[in-house]
Amino acid sequence: EKLLTDQDMQDDIFTPFGPTVEPYLTEQCMIPKEPFEMARTAWGDKIDIMIGGTSEEGLLLLQKIKLQPELLSHPHLFLGNVPPNLKISMEKRIEFAAKLKQRYYPDSSPSMENNLGYVHMMSDRVFWHGLHRTILARAARSRARTFVYRICLDSEFYNHYRIMMIDPKLRGTAHADELSYLFSNFTQQVPGKETFEYRGLQTLVDVFTAFVINGDPNCGMTAKSGVVFEPNAQTKPTFKCLNIANDGVAFVDYPDADRLDMWDAM
């Protein structure tokens, strides 16, 4: 409990560990310089990848907020979510903090009962903006293909991580909820074949299997939906994704691209 200070919690630093640059360059050294610098020459840029996440990744952060709900009403909330590595003045940080407030809570204030704006902010800051930057960086440096998926399966009973680890009363697709659609687990639940949960399960397994076997995620389930899952264009700033949702599968512009544009502007 002493590893994270109150300031860390206010700044939404939610783990006391992370990559550490090793001080000596040896054969066993894994992180000789900052990960951002390593990424510029990463061997992974030479291979095709499939990357993505869930629509409400930020639900994961409510686990922390439930322990300290006062953080949502703290005046430092938005200022603390301006990325600390930005080399900007305090005046500029305050300006960006005001933009965060306007974007996620334009007419209200965050609270445990009014947490959707916080969930969206954490989805963007902690997960999707990093994915966005990775996608664009690969497009700029490499000719390898990047396929992007977004999982938006909101089930009352099958999103096991959200139900068991966060709050069974909440809705949305949390970080790690996709695991129940990809792998068998201890619940041994199998959704009915007529349900969107079963269709989502079939789609995810088929897409991942096709990519592993063929290097191409297009498969029987995408064909059945009349969808072609394409890699992202090399220079297009708004990436496209395979959106797997309750009402079907579609290949679309990333639905929350305008929010990521705001983070890019920082």
pLDDT in tens, 80-99: 999 988 899 999 999 999 99
Report the catalytic residues. 57
Judge whether 250 and 265 are in contact, CB under 8 Å: no
Say how far apart CA 253 and CA 132 lie, in whole Å. Answer: 12
Structural tokens at position 5: 């200070």
User: What confidence score (pLDDT) does residue 14 get?
Assistant: 67
Encode pLDDT of 94-114 as tens digits. Answer: 999 999 999 999 999 999 999
Give the residue-averaged pLDDT of 10-18: 72
**At residue 125, does pLDDT exceed 60?**
yes
The span from the CA of 33 to the CA of 54, in Å, is 30
Question: What CA–CA distance (Å, rounded) separates 221 from 48?
Answer: 21
DSSP 133-187: HHHHHHHHH--S-EEEEEEE---SSS-HHIIIII-TT--S--TTTTHHHHS--TT
Query: Quick one: average pLDDT of 194-204?
Result: 97
Looking at 1.10.150.20, 3.40.190.10, 3.40.50.1820, 3.20.20.70, the CATH number of the domain 47-68+115-264 comes to 3.40.50.1820
> How far is 242 from 263, CA to CA, in rounded Å?
22
Q: Is the dihedral of CA 179, 185, 186, 188 positive or negative?
A: positive
Alpha-carbon distance values, 33 to 67, 136, 138 (Å): 35, 22, 19
